[in-house]
Amino acid sequence: MDAEIPQLLAGSEAVNRLRRAIASFAAATDRLERESGALRDRVVRLAEELEEKNRLLAASLERERRLEAEALRQSRLAAMGEMAATLAHEVRNPLGAMELFTGLLLQDLRDRPEALALARQVAGGIATLNHLVTNLLEFTRTQRPRAVVVDCQALVGDALLYAADLCATHRVDVTRGDVAATAPAVADPELLRPVLLNLIRNAVQAMADGGTLTVHAAIEGNVARVTVADTGPGIAPDAREDIFRPFYTTRAQGTGLGLTVSRALVSAMGGRLSVDSDPGRGATFIVDLPAARAEEI
C-alpha cells in the first residue's frame, strides 16, 4: 500500500500537467480565434476602404473628364462668340438700312393689299434677322447697365408695337392689363426693351395656330413685375431650366439664345426672369425688377 502512494502521486501530477497543457492549449486556441477574428475584421475594413478609394478615384477621373470636356466647350463657345460678334457687327448696319427702307415701302403700299402682304413678309424676315443679330451681340457683350427709373408699361407698349406685324401674321390676339396704371422700375431701358421683345416673340412663335398673348405690367410690393403669357403648348417641367441654357431650342430655325440673353440682361439689372407653365395650357414668363421708390419717381 505504501509503495502505491508514490505511483498515485506521480499519476496525479501527470494528470495535472495534462490538464494544464489542455488549458494552455485552449487559451492559445481562444487567443488565435480572437486574433483571427480581428484579422478578418481588419481585412473586411481594408477591403471596404479599398473599394471606397477606388470609387473616389473613379469619381475623380470622371470629374476630370467632365472638366476637360467643359473647358473644351467653353473654348469653342469663346471662339464662336468672337466670330459671331464680328459677323453681327458687319451685318447690322445693312440690316438697319433695309429695315428703314422696308418701313417706307410699307407706307407706300398701303393702297395695294397684295403687294403690301409681300412687303410685310420681307419686313418680317428683316426683323427676324435683326432680332437674331441683336441676340448674338448681347450674348457676347459684357453688360454694364444703367440704373434709371423706367415705366415698364410704356416699354411693353413699344415692344408690342414693334411686334404688331408678327402678331398679325401668326393670328395672335393681344390682351393687356391696366394700361393706365404705371409700373416704374429701376432698370436700364436699353436692356429691358430687348428682353420684352424676346419674350413677346417667343410667345407668339409658340402659338403656331394662333392664340392669345397676354402682357401685364404692375407693381407688386417692392417689385415691378411684367408677365408675358401665351396659350401655346406649354413647357414640360423637366425643360423649364433647360430653356435658359445657351443654344437650347425646340424650334428648327431657333438659335437658343433669346432666353439665355434675356435672363442675363434681367440679372444684370438686379432682377429675375422665371417661367411658370403647365404642359398643354401655355406658358407665362415673369420679369421681376426692383420697383422705383416714391422719391425716385
Over the stretch 130-173, which tens digit does the pLDDT of each residue have?
A: 777 777 666 666 667 788 899 999 999 999 988 888 888 889 99
**What is the pLDDT averaged over residues 262-278?**
89
User: Quick check: is 7 in a domain?
Assistant: no
- Adjacent-strand bridge partners of 150: 185
User: Quick check: is 169 in a domain?
Assistant: yes
**What is the pLDDT averaged over residues 192-202?**
90
User: Quick check: is 284 in a domain?
Assistant: yes
The pLDDT of residue 271 is 93
Measured CA distances, 33 to 12, 44, 46, 215 (Å): 31, 16, 19, 80
User: Quick check: is 49 in a domain?
Assistant: no
User: Quick check: is 201 in a domain?
Assistant: yes
Counting residues of the chain whose pLDDT is more than 90, the rounded percentage is: 22
User: Quick check: is 222 in a domain?
Assistant: yes
Number of domains in the chain: 1
User: Quick check: is 171 in a domain?
Assistant: yes
CATH of the domain at 167: 3.30.565.10
Q: For residues 31 and 36, what is the distance between their CA atoms, to the nearest angstrom?
A: 8
The residue range of the domain holding 291 is 147-297
User: Quick check: is 224 in a domain?
Assistant: yes
